[in-house]
Amino acid sequence: MKVTTATLLNQCYGRYAVPAVNVFFMEEVIGLFRAAQHWAAPIIVQTTPFARDYAGADMLVSMVEAAERTFPDVVFALHLDHGVESHITGAIGSGRYTSVMIDASHDSFERNVKRTAAVVRMAHEKGISVEAELGILAGVEDDLLVSAEKSFYTSPAQALDFVRETGCDSLAIAVGTSHGAYKFSGGQGLQFDILEEIGEKLPGFPLVLHGGSNVQSGVIKRINAAGGKLGEAARGVQDEEIRRAIPLGITKVNIATDMRLLWTMVNREFFRDRPEEFTPTTAGALYMEAYTDYIGTKIALLGAEGKAAEFS
Ligand code: 13P
């Protein structure tokens, strides 16, 4: 059952968060919906412009719609992650998305407000909600690299003005996470003082945590033991940090990197341990299974297990 993103985020505010997972291909769509069904949790399915270019927007969204028919009990929303106007117009025009993200966080405050407000007007006309971003996260997101020097935290005072002036429905904030597999190499972690202040200025308003992957050291070690060469110093957002962030207003936790690492681990180990194999679906089935299990751990961490019932 498709519901609006705003419905999900307003409902869970302060109590639990919804996992928002970026999908790129069929095994991920199925793995995600299986997990949502098994743990009766609401989910947000996300597609980036990169994913839409890879599979083709219609192909990608059609897979999600096929999953909707296959798993009719699953409560989900479909979100365009990190869009700019050209993608957003396409996503809104298609009538298939429940929300879009306008990422004008790299612009000045004034230009970010202007671009976001224009998207909000266009989206709200069609009943679609808008996530905006204020502050800049470091790291790698698909094909975009932001250096640590260019990143900065969200200003709580600006966050209030920004939400008032744009009319956006949720706000992605920069409070110490970064995108990609190389986060927190400096060990700084989440900035709870900033998050708390933003939450106080915007009570009841859904906040979004990008860069929500955990980057499990055990997974990195297994990848490297199976021939990978990934840096082992980085760590992601710790479970304890996520738990602490939810009562402070984080309603949506974005996850992409952990699934990419999982894919790498499953496939590297598969080809190392079964060198006689050459059947893509054998490895694909293992990935789907591992994917479902891993999303199950995220659902539990965010407190979303069993919460699909709140939307029936
Ligand atoms: P990770 O890189 O931590 O998975 O974050 C993904 C994300 O924020 C997508 O928008």
Residue-level pLDDT, tens digit, the chain, 312 residues: 999 999 999 999 999 999 999 999 999 999 999 999 999 999 999 999 999 999 999 999 999 999 999 999 999 999 999 999 999 999 999 999 999 999 999 999 999 999 999 999 999 999 999 999 999 877 766 666 666 656 789 999 999 999 999 999 999 999 988 877 666 544 578 999 999 999 999 999 999 999 999 999 999 999 999 999 999 887 899 999 999 999 999 999 999 999 999 999 999 999 999 999 999 999 999 999 999 999 999 999 999 999 999 998
Residue with CA at minimum distance from ligand 1 atom 5 = 211
Tell me the CA–centroid distance for residue 43 and ligand 1, in Å.
Answer: 15
| Whole-Å CA distances, 112 to 4, 119, 167, 292 | 24, 11, 12, 37
Residue with CA at minimum distance from ligand 1 atom 3 = 211
Residue-range domains of the chain with CATH: 5-311 (3.20.20.70)
Q: Which atom of ligand 1 is nearest to the CA of 260?
A: 4
Q: Which atom of ligand 1 is nearest to the CA of 213?
A: 3
Question: From CA 18, how far away is CA 229, in angstroms rounded?
Answer: 32
Whose structure tokens read 């920004």?
162
Q: Which atom of ligand 1 is nearest to the CA of 137?
A: 8
**pTM of the complete model:** 0.95
Tell me the CA–centroid distance for residue 21 and ligand 1, in Å.
Answer: 8
Active site residues: 81
- CB-ligand 1 contact for 212 (6 Å cutoff): yes
Burial classification of residue 301, based on how many CB atoms lie within 10 Å of its CB (0-12 exposed, 13-18 middle, 19 or more buried): buried
Tell me the CA–centroid distance for residue 260 and ligand 1, in Å.
Answer: 11
